[in-house]
């Protein structure tokens, strides 16, 4: 067990947010979606051939992400159970970091519709690497700081991620815009080079937490078969414990619903700007950049609010604002209104992500050694909520032909999430006397 509140260890933990957030910004939100749309429309058609099946290009990308989230949700409970039994959290975290980073580098070879299958494969693997690494990373939080520092530490981690991702995004945009100055033939080559930078940044900075974060190996030598069976046993043990932890179980359900709305808005905000407001790609990338810059401020502000008023008050306040975002999206008509709404989204995005993680940490049984297994339930819930939220968003859009109705539909998730959150009575998420 590490010495709690060790500044060097805590700072190294922050650096993994710095390392991995470039994937979620450059690949998931900003540059790659625009590049993918351009490549997938090379023949001036929205229909592409994928392993012999004709499918709409935007739907294919959405399905690929959903598939990756489902795979992670299915496998992580087993892997995290093994990690808790063996104590080798860093080993599994390293595997997913290398998988995700190399997959980002592999996107360099996605240069036309002829390599579409390769591009989608790399997208899926990068998403698995990103989501897979987080469950082991998050599980270190209750092992490196005391409970009174969960909120601030989690918020600082997210803030570091926002700063790092913005730095690399700006660097990538400079290279793409001035591609000839940097020796590239065209914007396409410069854009694909940015995917290499993402992979190198992710893997490179991850070496800092790999070096400093503690790891207690509890099983030195055992057969592979027994290790896998032990993984199932660890998961069964945590699952059974949830029946004795009603507040933790209720919080997972609350998190499932409000996170469905949060993540769907984050993943599909650019699509809303394109399809509803007909904004060009440069303005959309600027919007994503604006969200990231404001998000770090939001993480800090709501950490302060939770310290004074409690986690439940801070979370419910943000959920109420998210509800307002859903209704505002239904009525906005101008780009200026979209930019203002994006700034609000950034403010509450940073706060709700960091506080969701730290609140869950407070509800985990004190002094448990099975932190990874407990966080696997959190991350499985996280992944499944994205699948449900994005699928319902697309279904409503398909049935109504109007994405504004999809935005209104997301309000349901926030309302249910808030109701369930108020069912959590544990003192662990009330005001703490720090």
pLDDT, tens digit, for every residue of 247-271? Answer: 888 999 999 999 999 988 877 776 6
The full length of the chain comes to 434
* pLDDT value for 287: 80
List C-alpha distances in Å: 346 to 28, 203, 318, 325, 428.
16, 26, 11, 11, 27
In angstroms, the CA 426 to CA 204 distance is 40
| Per-residue pLDDT at 239 exceeds 90 | no
Residue with tokens 């997913």: 96
In angstroms, the CA 338 to CA 137 distance is 34
The CATH homologous superfamily for domain 7-429 is MFS general substrate transporter like domains (1.20.1250.20)
CA-closest candidate to residue 369, choices 86, 49, 114: 86
**How confident is the model over 30-51, as a mean pLDDT?**
79
- The alpha carbons of the chain give a radius of gyration, in whole angstroms, of 21
Helix (H) or strand (E) holding 240: helix 224-242
In angstroms, the CA 192 to CA 13 distance is 29
CA-closest candidate to residue 123, choices 138, 110, 140: 110
Please state the separation of Cα 329 from the chain's center in Å: 22
Write phi, then psi, for 295 (nearest 5 degrees): -60, -40
Burial, 188: exposed, middle or buried (Cβ in 10 Å; 0-12, 13-18, 19+)?
A: middle
CA-closest candidate to residue 397, choices 384, 386, 410, 385: 410
In angstroms, the CA 393 to CA 261 distance is 9
Split at pLDDT 50, 70, 90, the class of 432 is very low
Write phi, then psi, for 111 (nearest 5 degrees): -120, 0
| Per-residue pLDDT at 203 exceeds 90 | yes
| Per-residue pLDDT at 87 exceeds 80 | no
Q: Is 55 left (phi over 0), alpha (psi -120 to 50) or beta?
A: beta
* pLDDT value for 210: 95
Cβ atoms within 10 Å, residue 87: 17
pTM: 0.77
In angstroms, the CA 237 to CA 232 distance is 9
List C-alpha distances in Å: 20 to 89, 101, 279, 413.
17, 9, 28, 27
Split at pLDDT 50, 70, 90, the class of 434 is very low
What is the average pLDDT value for the chain, to the nearest integer?
83
In angstroms, the CA 249 to CA 238 distance is 11
DSSP letters spanning 136-196: HHHTTHHHHS-GGGHHHHHHHHHHHHHHHHHHHHHHHHHHHHTTTTTT-SSHHHHHHHHHH
Write phi, then psi, for 410 (nearest 5 degrees): -65, -20
């Amino acid at each position: 067990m590490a010495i709690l509140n060790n500044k060097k260890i805590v700072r190294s933990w922050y650096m993994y947010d710095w390392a991995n957030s470039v994937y979620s910004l450059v690949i998931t939100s900003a540059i790659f979606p625009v590049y993918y749309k351009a490549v997938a429309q090379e023949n001036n058609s929205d229909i592409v051939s994928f392993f012999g099946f004709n499918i709409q290009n935007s739907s294919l990308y959405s399905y690929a992400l959903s598939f990756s989230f489902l795979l992670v949700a299915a496998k992580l409970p087993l892997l995290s159970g093994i990690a808790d039994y063996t104590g080798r959290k860093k080993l599994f975290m390293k595997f997913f970091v290398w998988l995700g980073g190399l997959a980002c580098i592999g996107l360099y070879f996605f240069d036309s519709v002829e390599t579409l299958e390769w591009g989608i494969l790399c997208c899926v693997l990068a998403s698995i690497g990103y989501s897979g690494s987080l469950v082991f990373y998050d599980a270190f939080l209750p092992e490196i700081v005391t409970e009174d520092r969960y909120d601030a530490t989690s918020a600082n981690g997210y803030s570091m991620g926002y700063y790092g991702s913005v730095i690399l995004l700006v660097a990538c945009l400079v290279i793409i815009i001035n591609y000839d100055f940097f020796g590239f033939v065209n914007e396409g080559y410069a854009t694909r080079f940015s995917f290499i930078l993402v992979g190198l940044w992710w893997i490179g900075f991850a070496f800092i937490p790999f070096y400093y974060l503690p790891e207690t190996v509890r099983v030195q030598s055992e057969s592979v078969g027994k290790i896998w069976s032990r993984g199932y046993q660890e998961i069964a043990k945590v699952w059974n414990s949830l029946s004795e932890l009603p507040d933790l179980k209720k919080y997972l359900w609350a998190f499932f619903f409000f996170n469905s709305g949060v993540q769907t808005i984050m993943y599909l905000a650019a699509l809303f700007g394109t399809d509803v407001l007909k904004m060009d790609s440069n303005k959309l990338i600027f919007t994503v950049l604006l969200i990231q810059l404001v998000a770090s401020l939001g993480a800090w502000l709501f950490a302060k609010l939770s310290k004074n008023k409690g986690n439940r008050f801070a979370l419910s306040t943000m959920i109420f604002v998210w509800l307002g975002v859903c209704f505002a999206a239904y009525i906005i008509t101008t780009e200026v209104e979209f930019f203002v709404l994006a700034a609000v989204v950034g403010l509450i995005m940073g706060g709700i992500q960091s506080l969701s993680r730290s609140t869950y940490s407070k509800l985990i049984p004190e002094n448990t050694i099975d932190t990874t297994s407990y966080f696997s339930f959190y991350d499985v819930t996280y992944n499944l909520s994205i699948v449900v939220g994005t699928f319902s968003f697309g279904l409503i859009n398909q049935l109504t032909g109007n994405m504004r109705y999809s935005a209104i539909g997301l309000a349901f998730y926030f309302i249910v999430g808030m109701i369930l959150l108020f069912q959590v009575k544990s003192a662990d998420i009330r005001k703490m006397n720090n």
